[in-house]
Amino acid sequence: MKINLGPLTRIEGHLNVETTVENNKIVDAQCMGEMFRGFEVFLQGRNPLDAQQITQRICGVCPYAHAIASSYAQERAYNLKVPPNGRIMHNLIQGANHLYDYLLQFYQLAALDFVDVTSILQYKGKDADLLTLKNWVQAELASGKAYPAAPFLPRLSGKYVNNADLNIGALKHYIESMEIQKKANEAAAIFGGKFPHSTSIFPGGCTQNAKIDLIASYQSLINEVRNFYHNKYIPDVLAIAKAFPEYWNIGASKGGFLSYGLLPLSPEQNSKKVFSSGVLTDGEISPVNFELITEDVKHAMYSSPSGLKVRDSTLTPSPKKSGAYSWIKAPRYQGHMVEVGSAARILVDYHQGNNATVKQLVQKFAAQAGIPPSKINSVLGRYLSRAICGAVIADFLLDESERIDLKGPTIADIKIPSSGEGFGATEASRGALLHYIRIKDQKIDRYECVVPTTWNASPRDDNDQPGAMESALIGTNVKDPEDQIEAIRIVHSFDPCIACAVH
């Protein structure tokens, strides 16, 4: 039996998922990106310095990652020598964005897959926010509508946390987390100019000045965010894990893992990073080589050639192409399907063993949950990975902000060459993000973005191998094929963003 899971809510953009269920098991799954955008097409012919501004408009959630990837690519193409302050400010802006995004993902987009929002009806206290929520849920439930409004409702039927106090506590954090997200965004805007789309990130650094009062304000905001991670976010993730231990065994993707590494420790392009880069296949780590990435379109709605390398990629939309079911391409690493994102970031770093804190946190939480670290590849593993990433990033940002040299420049002199090319790779919150720019006559000749959700929500490739999310769905047991809460929990754990995936 084929079931369409749409409309999918609490994700970004237009994603549809269709599963085929036999004997209460998903035996097939198709992820469908249902819109076309074309950023790479309309970037052609423009001034290259437009790129880090325009590509930020791919998304309102992870714009800084696009600006950073674009800046790295242009730094290569222009052969820029980035001053230390420039790279530090890039890190301060991008790191704060990760802190915002993990909070948004867990509390607003995913927690209500587990937390029972209807427990709020039992709330007897005086907290104004919780009373507003209570009235709202009451009215929605009383409305008799078949589909009460998002974001809190509708709910799929299944097991939820059944302790009213725990649910109400989590809902309180749901509301508080929005204030904390605001603080993370304010911190990013101190150096980034504004949120969501930064005006100050450029190849070679940042147009903001190095000033002591800016650093002090940044630190004070990040410190509050850090405290929320330690006192609320991490305990909430662990509480969900304790209540739903079966989700360590649900939603594993069935390929490798890719991370480009995050937060460089020095301005050079080949710098060591807080989170290491690497490709993890069959338990073996190898260095990332962009030349081994290809983009298949056999099942994507493009008539341009399939299997091209990133620098050769082209884009000819073909909405009626036979056998195609998605506007998302299928990137592959040396032909392998890989998962990207927080779990990939943690697994790749854990296997490299370069970051002692990551290693220690993974081991600590894995021991508490009674699971081996390999179970990071699961629904709960993706949530735990975001919590660990957030804790590590918050500490790093507080230290990194101390390294700003108040007398040093914050940006390199930019001179656009008549020709050149460059790759720029970073980790957006949702995973490995690559931009490629080629310049001819001081204009953009070709631009290509290979984006996290393009990897994770990809359709079948030229060899008919499923994408990471499809593979995670296939094999899952579902209690009620008509109401697949297990499948929705798997999809949400990837935090798909279709605006990014299609771009």
What is the rounded CA–CA span in Å between residue 120 and residue 455?
A: 38
Query: Rounded to the nearest whole angstrom, what is the least distance from the CB of residue 213 to ligand NFE in the complex?
Result: 30
Q: What is the DSSP string of 366-408?
A: HHHHT--GGGGSSHHHHHHHHHHHHHHHHHHHHHHHHT--TTS
Select 51 or 412, whichever has its Cβ closest to ligand NFE.
Answer: 51
Q: Which of 27, 35, 34, 28 is nearest to 6 (CA)?
A: 34
Query: Rounded to the nearest whole angstrom, what is the least distance from the CB of residue 62 to ligand NFE in the complex?
Result: 3
Residues engaged in binding ligand NFE (CB under 6 A) = 12, 59, 61-62, 65-66, 428-430, 433, 451-453, 497, 499-501
- Coil, helix or strand at residue 249: coil
The neighbour count for residue 219, using CB atoms within 10 Å, is: 18
Instruction: Give the strand pairing for 201-202 and 25-33.
Output: unpaired
Burial of 368 (0-12, 13-18, 19+ CB in 10 A): exposed
Task: Please check whether residue 77 is in contact with residue 419, taking contact to mean a CB–CB distance below 8 angstroms.
Answer: no
Q: Which of 463, 433, 454, 425 is nearest to 73 (CA)?
A: 425
Give me 41's structure tokens: 């097409």
Select 61 or 380, whichever has its Cβ closest to ligand NFE.
Answer: 61
Torsional class of 253: left (φ above 0), alpha (ψ -120 to 50), beta (otherwise): beta
Query: Rounded to the nearest whole angstrom, what is the least distance from the CB of residue 388 to ligand NFE in the complex?
Result: 17
Query: Rounded to the nearest whole angstrom, what is the least distance from the CB of residue 433 to ligand NFE in the complex?
Result: 4
Select 21 or 300, whichever has its Cβ closest to ligand NFE.
Answer: 300
Select 489 or 503, whichever has its Cβ closest to ligand NFE.
Answer: 503
Query: Rounded to the nearest whole angstrom, what is the least distance from the CB of residue 497 to ligand NFE in the complex?
Result: 3
Select 134 or 382, whichever has its Cβ closest to ligand NFE.
Answer: 382
Select 255 or 452, whichever has its Cβ closest to ligand NFE.
Answer: 452
DSSP state, 424? E
3-state secondary structure 130-153: HHHHHHHHHHHHHCCCCCCCCCCC
What is the rounded CA–CA span in Å between residue 378 and residue 92?
A: 30
Select 378 or 426, whichever has its Cβ closest to ligand NFE.
Answer: 426
Query: Rounded to the nearest whole angstrom, what is the least distance from the CB of residue 220 to ligand NFE in the complex?
Result: 26
Query: Rounded to the nearest whole angstrom, what is the least distance from the CB of residue 193 to ligand NFE in the complex?
Result: 20
Task: Please check whether residue 141 is in contact with residue 425, taking contact to mean a CB–CB distance below 8 angstroms.
Answer: no
Q: Would the CA dihedral through 333, 336, 342, 343 be positive or negative? A: negative
Query: Rounded to the nearest whole angstrom, what is the least distance from the CB of residue 427 to ligand NFE in the complex?
Result: 8
Overall residue count recorded for the chain in this entry: 503
Select 169 or 459, whichever has its Cβ closest to ligand NFE.
Answer: 459
Select 83 or 381, whichever has its Cβ closest to ligand NFE.
Answer: 381
